[in-house]
Amino acid sequence: MEMLFGFLVLLACLLVGVRHGGIGLAVISGIGLVVFTFVFQYKPGMPPIDVMLTILAVVTCAGFLQTSGGLTVMLKYAEQFLRSNPKQITILAPLTTWFLTVLCGTGHVVYTMFPIIYDIAIKQNIRPERPMAVSSVASQMGICASPVSVAVVSIIGFMAAAGYDYTVLQILAVSIPATGFGVLCAALWSYRRGKDLEKDPRFQEFIQDPENKKYVYGDVESLQGKSLPKEFYRAMFIFFGGILIIAVLGNFPDLLPHFAASADAKPKPISMTSVIQMVMLLVGAAILLTCNVKAKDVGNSQVFRSGIVALVSVYGVAWMANTYFGAHMTVLKEALGTAVASYPWAYAIIAFVTSKLVNSQAAAIAIVVPMALGVGMDPVLIMSFISACYGYFFLPTYPSDLACIGFDRSGTTRIGKYILNHSFMIPGLIGVSTGCCMGFLMAHIVM
């Protein structure tokens, strides 16, 4: 009974906290911590310090990338690619937003792409909902495929803490094909979704008004033809160089410095969490010193602010969850261990639901991955269902989905009458389910 009451406290904190955003979720988690410690007498768990420090280094570097203009260069190339292949916008747009997230570690880059995707679609007489909705989904699915995302950094940290020395490339060799395949399947389904614009009575009625028609078909601002400073390009290449260094060092541990824990112990390479922290700080320093960036401006960048919110959210949620699950680990090992062994998809469902509850893949991973590792779940299965950590499309409340609706001036991307029949539901379900299938296959091949 006590375990049930504790779970209700945990659930209540998640439900209340998510209504107040990431930072709100972190401080509401403090209520759960106090209740668990002083009322239920649970021994306080440990916040994931190594994971948090790695996240801090990564988001700081990403902030320098955006402030320096390196991110603008990436967006310019992405727009050029899409405008050169306008007929295939429904397939290429989601693959592009997914790839941008993989490179940058955050799905927030999609906001700049929405007006471009809309402009190309409407001028090709393609229903904007087709590329736009799946592009929003794709931008979030790319998070678990990025070597510099909070989610992947967290997975690496939790795996290392549990004694599993998987390389960065092993993790990405599962998550990149899994999420990429999911995005492709969702895009293929979206290719013919909804009615063509000329056959959509709702759209045709809307553009009967000349002002509405002008609004729907109006031009948007473009990066094409704009000359960008050379420092922007330099920053982008420095950032790519940092990612390459992490990939090489992660796959070849013999290149890392080795240290012994004691005089008679065998030297071991330093952890990849430490390597990622060092390289990300080094990349940030290189951008600062060579790309005409003001350090004080980094704190105001959208990527940095979003990353810090994610960091604080992981801090509170992971600490609270660790305290609760740690107090009942014996029971959980028996119950969840048997359930997951018999029904591996149970873990995918738990990850999906948790992601929706906390509206964050990083926060969901901070809850479910340590719990799963603690009950003895095979890390191969954990990685198999990495795509399931994206479940917050289920209700159309996430900022990128709402922004997508706002940028679609045709009104075709929308929330349905029954809420759940919104534009992102089927692409999201297809992306996650097919991603899990591909992840299951890849995890059993490479891990």
CB count, 10 Å around CB of 287? 27
pLDDT range class, residue 397, cuts 50, 70, 90? low
Q: Environment class of residue 8 by beta-carbon count within 10 Å: exposed (0-12), middle (13-18) or buried (19+)?
A: exposed
Percent of the residues in the chain that have a pLDDT greater than 70, as a whole number? 96
Q: How far apart are CA 217 and CA 214, in angstroms?
A: 5
User: Could you read off the pLDDT of 224-257 as tens digits, one per residue?
Assistant: 778 899 999 999 999 889 888 887 887 777 888 9
pLDDT of residue 137: 94
Domain boundaries, the chain: 2-446
Q: How far apart are CA 152 and CA 386, in angstroms?
A: 10
User: Both tokens of residue 387?
Assistant: 């795509």
Tell me which amino acid residue 434 is: T
Q: How far apart are CA 395 and CA 15, in angstroms?
A: 14
Of the listed ranges 11-20, 91-100, 423-432, the least confidently predicted one is: 11-20
pLDDT of residue 22: 67
CA–CA distances in Å: residue 270 to residues 151, 241, 255, 259, 278: 21, 21, 10, 7, 11
User: Could you read off the pLDDT of 28-38 as tens digits, one per residue?
Assistant: 989 999 999 99
Q: How far apart are CA 85 and CA 211, in angstroms?
A: 29
Percent of the residues in the chain that have a pLDDT greater than 90, as a whole number? 30
pTM: 0.78
pLDDT range class, residue 333, cuts 50, 70, 90? low
User: Could you read off the pLDDT of 65-79 as tens digits, one per residue?
Assistant: 889 988 888 888 888
Instruction: Find all residues with CB under 8 Å of 369, minimum gap 6, and list them.
Output: 154, 155, 158, 159, 382
Element (H, E) at 338: helix 329-342
- Residue 376 contacts residue 336 (beta carbons within 8 Å): no
Place of tokens 């790839």: 99
Nearest residue to 257 (alpha-carbon basis) of 270, 271, 239, 238: 270
pLDDT of residue 262: 76
pLDDT of residue 39: 92
Average pLDDT (341-364) is 80
pLDDT range class, residue 415, cuts 50, 70, 90? confident
pLDDT range class, residue 307, cuts 50, 70, 90? confident
User: Both tokens of residue 29?
Assistant: 């988690």
Alpha helices in 230-269 (DSSP H): 230-251
User: Both tokens of residue 306?
Assistant: 């979003």
